[in-house]
Amino acid sequence: MRREVRNRVVWLLAVALAAFAAAPAAAQERGITPSEIVLGTSAPLSGPAAAWGATARGIAAYLEYINEQGGIHGRTLRFIILDDAYQPPRAVQNVRQLVEREGVFALVGMIGSANAAATADYIFRNEVVWMTPAVEQEQWIGNPNIEYLFVTYPNYYHEARILTRYAVETLGKRRIAVLYQNDQYGDSGRRGVLDELAALGLTPAAMVSYELTDADLTVHVLRLGQAQADAVILYATPAHGAMAARALAQLNPRPQILSSFTLADPVMAVLAGEAWNGVIVPAYFPYPGTDEKVDQVLQIILERNPDLASMAFNALAGVSFVEPLLEGLRRAGPDVTKESFRDAMETIQDWDGELLRGISFGPGRRQGLNRIFLSQMMDGVPHRLTDWIEYPVEY
Amino acid sequence: MFFWQLVVSGLSIGSLYALVGLGVVLLYRTSRVLNFAHGDLSMVSAMTAYTLITGAGVTFAGAAALTLLAAFAVGALFYFLVLRPVKDATLLGQIVTTAGFALVLGGLAVIVWGADTKAMPFPLSRFVWYDVAGLRIDQLTLGSFVVACAAMFLLYLLVQRTKFGLAMRAVSQNDAAAKVLGIPVRRVLAVTWGASAALGAVGGLLLAPVTFVSPAMMFEPFLKGFAAAVLGGLDSLPGVVIGGLALGVLENLFAGYVSTAFKSTVAFVAILAVLLVRPEGLLGRKVVRRV
Amino acid sequence: MAQRIEAYEQEMAHVRGSAAWAGVVLLAGSLSLLPWLLPGYQVYVLNFVGVNIIIAMGLNFLVGYTGQISLGHAGFVAVGAYAAAHFVHAAQAWPLIVRLGGPFVWALLAGGAAAALCGLLVGIPAIRLEGPYLVIVTLGFGLAVQQVLINWPAVSGGRIGLFLPAPRIGPFALESDRSLYYLVWSTGALLAWIAFNLSRSHVGRAFIAVRDSDIAASVMGVNLRRIKTLAFAVSAFYAGVAGALLAYVMQYLEPTMFGLYESIYYLSMIVVGGLGTVPGAIFGAALLTWLQYGLPQARQYLPVVYGAVVMLVMALEPMGLYGRWLKVKRWLKSWPL
């Protein structure tokens, strides 16, 4: 009898000791030590959205290069990637672990509007610097807590409006339809198309949604054909975009496809084949093969992580998330705190990085990017159609 | 016209659902196991074929043959290594075990092949189409339907017209009696598992040009195939064929005329409706339990 | 040293003898101290463990005791979560309630009740269906709930999901991990107490009778229809309360949190832990939730590790971890011979 009681006490003490062992270490300014700056991200490395995890890997490869060049003001950059499998509860847990246990100075990126919405409150309350969560941006407009948030990611809603305007005014299309994924990303596109058409005095020919798990989009495209759409605005993943393009190629007459910039990925030409010829796609930094600096960055990250070759587009996008952070750290100087970093970021005006061009922040301005340009894809090669097209700065 | 176009494409995708479902039913009939890893096995087969074609330069026919053989081997191996120790588990235990296996396969696929979407080089093209009676039918849609039907027909021949098929049917009815009669039950079961996996591989190869190759490619086709199997009756092979075709057409008609948002939900509601009236499925045998 | 059992109550008791009671008290004490010993983000994980334990206990009633399979349990959790969230939002309009003591107890009950109602509805076809056919119906239910939520912005909060205010007791808001921990774990303890007692009551025995042989059970006077729907309702109730707690822990809801994978995870928790036993459900939920949230950087390997753990446990110990624990205890008791 006594032995059982004693055994339980011993076991419980062991648990308590183990718990103490897991206590985190403290730092002066969280994430900044004399020798390193700690950065982190929560990204989908497994599960249905795992291809977007390449953004985090691209960042890691690029930071390796920066460290090899001596880091920033003598500090190396340590980047911690935690997998959230695109699930909000795990994203929250990752962010908390990064802040409370690893003590990161900044979070770079995040994939999934749901993940961003779930973690935003915690991140803002703890004044963690947050660079470019790659999500729809309505949630930042009018938000008073975004002091340490800096975004250089295109706005899906405004992009959709630009695409619609181009289809109607430049291409002369009248029956505009939108095929969109049934989530925040796709819905932003749908609203953009709807609002722009209303402003132009038109209504959409069709608005067809699909689910992320749908394996076949033939029916969806048949509906678009039934509505006799002459232009289709596409908000989809690469797989679904390719499925849609191939089905759309069979329609007679064949509609013009204008797609969100997420499908600027050169893999689309491989997946959709000749169906991708003629598709109009926006971009927010120059394509590899059209610009020396971009090609250099691509080479840098592929040298350090050759597995990224099949997901080069996503990897480059990741580098575009972290670029402004590095510039801010450079400008803040060796005695960097989050306040001095914020002030340094606010001095960025019309700045060109390796990938990004024309980025501006300022007191009260956290939207660094407000322009895109359109290209048309032919045999996997982009042909630039327009100059930079601007959209409103909203936060 | 719209209606017939929907029906045609519904039949084509339905035949692929039926093919997937056949693998599930074949297994369930013979060994009373619901294999939740069937979809991921098909996905791994498609990935393997992709690597053989693009990485090793094998022709499509060669890669397909090799993949089918490999799938057969993996299926039989899975039976020996994992299922036999868990043989006495309840239906639930089997579901969980095979679901665990599915998770492992999916996770390994992301690590080995990467999570990105790949295009499978395929001999049939979506850009070659035939205009028949006002309908536009592309080569891929037509070809998938034909190959799926051919596979089903071959399975029918195997099960109904060969001696081995007779042994399979005997084992499915009463494996103890089959054992007593000298039928090598373990061998039959291993071959059944292998055949089911090979069927899954065919399904995966046919679905690859439709859904593209990625670790999550079979998530929905597997669910639909499983649903088709239940709709048709889990111990009836012709049932799953009818169930799959019906499911494909029903889904397409609903999505075409009403809403694409609830396409899958309608499928399950329809199945529920059928099961309320006929709990054993369309062509299933009524379960009579001896007390 | 074995206890001498002298009365029927003693045999049916879950906790026997002063050593066992001391153990229970110590366990309760250490669980109460835990949030003071661990850093915040780990308490957050423990809150998830608590929520999943509740779900597992409920699912165990349905699957372990009554032998019905449910592959759509995430649907019940979702119903409970959203029902509670909307109840809270509606109650915010009544400042008296907010000031008096916050609606959170009522929110938990609302979540549980809404889910239980769904459970009753799903239980109806369950009366006629068995095995894989029931699997498909419950699978369809889970998928349908998720699909409806995705397409119904009024309920699911639209584009960015649904936010909740923190639960309140009078003027105090339960915002910190610690206070949420006590909320989750005290609810869990209460529900566990109910589960233990339900399992040894005549209802629990009826459940088991239906699982072991439903024809014999109905011959003995067990109303099959009532017991099967009751099993669904009770397990859905647990899932609903857990969903409400989940809503409070996350303070945010989104339909992707309640999909097929989650349903499979819940099922694997009770099977790995030990089917048909309440401690088994608790073990399995604790271990597998910790596995999901507690492993550090190597998390991209999580599906492989998780799947492998499940397969290994099923292959090596069909009775689950609790079954293995019982065997170990029995072996220890009989040593040395």
pLDDT digits (tens, 9 = 90+) for C96-116: 666 555 567 888 998 999 999
Retrieve residue A172's tokens: 């002369």
What is the reported pLDDT for A19? 45
- For residue B284, being part of any structural domain is answered with no
CB-based contact, C315 to chain B, within 8 Å: yes
Of A159, A156, A152, residue with least CA distance to A185 = A156
Retrieve residue A97's tokens: 């672990």
Do the chains contact at C302 and A83, CB–CB below 8 Å? yes
Of C1, C30, C293, the CB nearest to A90: C293
What is the reported pLDDT for A21? 43
- For residue B99, being part of any structural domain is answered with yes
- From A269, which residue of chain B is nearest by alpha-carbon distance? B119
Paired strand residues for A32: A29, A37
pLDDT higher for C163 or A276? Answer: A276
- From A315, which residue of chain B is nearest by alpha-carbon distance? B116
pLDDT higher for C281 or C325? Answer: C281
DSSP 8-class letter at B228: H
Kindly list the domain boundaries of chain A, sorted by start residue.
Answer: 36-154+288-364, 156-282+376-390
3-class secondary-structure state, position B255: helix
Residues of B in contact with A219 (CB under 8 A): 6, 9, 251-252, 255-256, 260, 263
- Is the ipTM higher than 0.85? The answer is yes
3-class secondary-structure state, position C337: coil
- What DSSP element (H or E) covers B221? helix B219-232
**What distance in Å separates residue A109's CA from the closest CA in chain B?**
19
Cβ neighbours of residue C16 closer than 8 Å, sequence gap 6 or more: C3, C10
pLDDT digits (tens, 9 = 90+) for A234-246: 999 888 999 999 9
pLDDT digits (tens, 9 = 90+) for A27-78: 468 889 889 999 999 998 887 788 888 999 999 999 999 999 999 999 999 9
Distance CA C36, CA C51 (A): 19
Residues of B in contact with A216 (CB under 8 A): 13, 210-211
What domain count does chain B have? 1
**Would you say residue B86 has pLDDT above 80?**
no
Residues of A in contact with B215 (CB under 8 A): 50
Q: How many CB atoms lie within 10 A of CB B57?
A: 9
| DSSP code string of C260-321 | HHHHHHHHHHHHHH-TT-HHHHHHHHHHHHHHHHH--GGGGGHHHHHHHHHHHHHHH-TTHH
Q: What is the mean pLDDT of residues B151-168?
A: 88
| Sign of the four-CA dihedral B141, B146, B152, B158 | negative
Cis status of the peptide bond prior to C336, with omega within 30 of 0: yes
Retrieve residue C227's tokens: 């017991």
CATH of A156-282+376-390, one of 3.90.180.10, 3.40.50.2300, 3.40.50.720, 3.20.20.80: 3.40.50.2300
Of B105, B79, B112, residue with least CA distance to B194 = B79
**Would you say residue C28 has pLDDT above 90?**
no
Q: What is the mean pLDDT of chain B?
A: 87
Distance CA C98, CA B194 (A): 62
In which residue are the tokens 């043989």 written?
B87
- For residue B289, being part of any structural domain is answered with no
Cβ-in-10-Å burial (0-12, 13-18, 19+) of C199 comes to: buried
Least confident of A242-256, B188-202, B267-281, C223-237: B267-281
**Would you say residue C299 has pLDDT above 70?**
no
C-alpha distances (whole Å) from A74 to each of A69, A147, A319, A327, C54 are: 10, 27, 21, 14, 51
**Would you say residue A8 has pLDDT above 70?**
no
Q: How many CB atoms lie within 10 A of CB C106?
A: 17
Q: What is the mean pLDDT of chain A?
A: 89
Retrieve residue B151's tokens: 């596979």
- What DSSP element (H or E) covers B181? none
| DSSP code string of A316-369 | HHHHHHHHHHHHHHHHH-SS--HHHHHHHHHT--SB--SS--SB--BTTB-B--
**Burial readout A44-61 (b: 16 or more C-beta within 10 A, e: otherwise):** bbbbbbbbbbbbbbbbbb
Q: Note whether B281 and B29 are within 8 A (CB).
A: no
DSSP 8-class letter at A189: H
Q: How confident is the model at residue A389 (pLDDT cuts 50, 70, 90)?
A: very high
Give the CATH number for residue B242. Answer: 1.10.3470
Distance CA A45, CA A84 (A): 7
CB-based contact, A126 to chain B, within 8 Å: no
**Would you say residue C172 has pLDDT above 50?**
yes
* pTM summary value: 0.88
Measured at the alpha carbon of residue A50, what is the angle toward residues A106 and A59, in degrees to the nearest 5?
35
Measured at the alpha carbon of residue A244, what is the angle toward residues A43 and A50, in degrees to the nearest 5?
15
Which H, E and C letters describe B38-73, residue by residue? HHHHHHHHHHHHHHHHHHCCCCHHHHHHHHHHHHHH
Q: Note whether A219 and B267 are within 8 A (CB).
A: no
Q: Which of residues 281-320 of A touch C (CB under 8 A)?
A: none
Counting DSSP H helices and E strands in chain B, the numbers are 11, 2
**What distance in Å separates residue C205's CA from the closest CA in chain B?**
20
Supply the range of the domain harboring residue B66.
Answer: 2-277
Q: What is the mean pLDDT of chain C?
A: 83
pLDDT digits (tens, 9 = 90+) for C35-50: 888 877 888 889 999 9
Q: How confident is the model at residue A209 (pLDDT cuts 50, 70, 90)?
A: very high
Q: How confident is the model at residue A24 (pLDDT cuts 50, 70, 90)?
A: very low
CB-based contact, C269 to chain B, within 8 Å: no
Of C18, C20, C160, the CB nearest to A113: C160
What is the reported pLDDT for A22? 45
**Burial readout A103-127 (b: 16 or more C-beta within 10 A, e: otherwise):** bbbbbbbbbbbbbbbbbbebbbeee
What is the reported pLDDT for C45? 86
Least confident of A22-26, C171-175, C227-231: A22-26
Cβ neighbours of residue A334 closer than 8 Å, sequence gap 6 or more: A73, A74
What is the reported pLDDT for A18? 47
- Tell me if the domain spanning A36-154+288-364 has CATH number 2.40.420.20: no
pLDDT higher for B257 or C12? Answer: B257
What is the reported pLDDT for A227? 93
Distance CA A70, CA A76 (A): 7
